[in-house]
């Protein structure tokens, strides 16, 4: 899969989706404790706003060598560090919600930043140095997963590029394997067994 194309496609689809969200739904339920407005804000921040900054900050060495390692890393941090990160994420989600009307511009800046880096360039991500080709699929994952969350909460349809959905689904499976849950996910996907209640790979 062309990770650059899937990211650009997912960004375009997400921007279109945000433009179709009824204004009256923005302060209603989104995901967990987030309103729909905060959910959109989180996605804008994690998948669009931070991209130019990360891609513009070279790093050495490679600390996380695969996309699944980005998400698996979170499970290994101390509980107090994880709690602090969640709290900061909540604040950021609400602050970034002010950028909803600028979603198209944010996507443009992100894709321009992507065009300026090479696949094997190492950049400074929140979990350490990663190659661009390994980090960017984690941003596509954010767009696709939270895009479907936004669509469900807003009551509007969305159809991401099948290639972007496939890339994100494969990444979810790889995260499950990295966390030791690969067999359980494989059995669920092949109809052998169900997954535990509230099971998640993120």
Task: Enumerate the domain spans of the chain.
Answer: 3-189
The pTM score is 0.95
What is the structure's pLDDT at 74?
77
CATH of 3-189 given 1.20.120, 3.40.50, 1.10.10, 3.40.190: 1.20.120
Residue by residue, DSSP assigns 76-114 as: TS-HHHHHHHHHHHHHHHHHHGGGGGGHHHHHHHHHHHH
Other beta carbons less than 10 A from residue 73's beta carbon: 16
Mean pLDDT in consecutive groups of 10 residues from the start of the chain, 202 residues: 95 98 97 96 97 97 96 80 75 89 98 98 96 98 98 98 98 96 97 95 92
So what's the pLDDT on residue 145? 98
Contact 20, 153 (CB under 8 A): no
Q: How do residues 111-155 score in pLDDT, each as one tens digit? A: 999 999 999 999 999 999 999 999 999 999 999 999 999 999 999
Cβ atoms 64, 134 nearer than 8 A:
yes
**Residue among 31, 61, 53, 56 at smallest CA distance from 43:** 31
pLDDT of residue 87: 73
Write down the pLDDT at residue 91.
83
Q: Are 96 and 43 in contact (CB under 8 A)?
A: no
């Amino acid at each position: 899969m062309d990770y650059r194309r899937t990211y650009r496609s997912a960004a375009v689809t997400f921007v279109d989706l945000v433009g179709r969200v009824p204004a009256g739904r923005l302060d209603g339920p989104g995901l967990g404790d987030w309103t729909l407005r905060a959910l959109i804000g989180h996605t804008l921040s994690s998948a669009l706003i931070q991209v130019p900054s990360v891609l513009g900050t070279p790093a050495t060495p490679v600390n996380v060598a695969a996309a699944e390692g980005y998400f698996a890393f979170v499970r290994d941090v101390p509980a107090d560090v994880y709690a602090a990160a969640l709290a900061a994420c909540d604040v950021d989600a609400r602050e970034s919600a002010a950028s909803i009307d600028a979603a198209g511009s944010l996507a443009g800046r992100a894709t321009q930043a992507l065009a300026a880096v090479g696949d094997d360039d190492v950049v400074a991500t929140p979990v350490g140095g990663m190659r661009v080709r390994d980090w960017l699929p984690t941003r596509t994952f954010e767009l696709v997963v939270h895009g479907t969350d936004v669509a469900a909460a807003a009551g509007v349809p969305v159809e991401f590029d099948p290639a972007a959905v496939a890339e994100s689904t494969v990444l979810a499976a790889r995260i499950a394997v990295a966390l030791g849950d690969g067999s359980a996910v494989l059995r669920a996907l092949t109809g052998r067994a169900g997954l535990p209640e509230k099971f998640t790979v993120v």
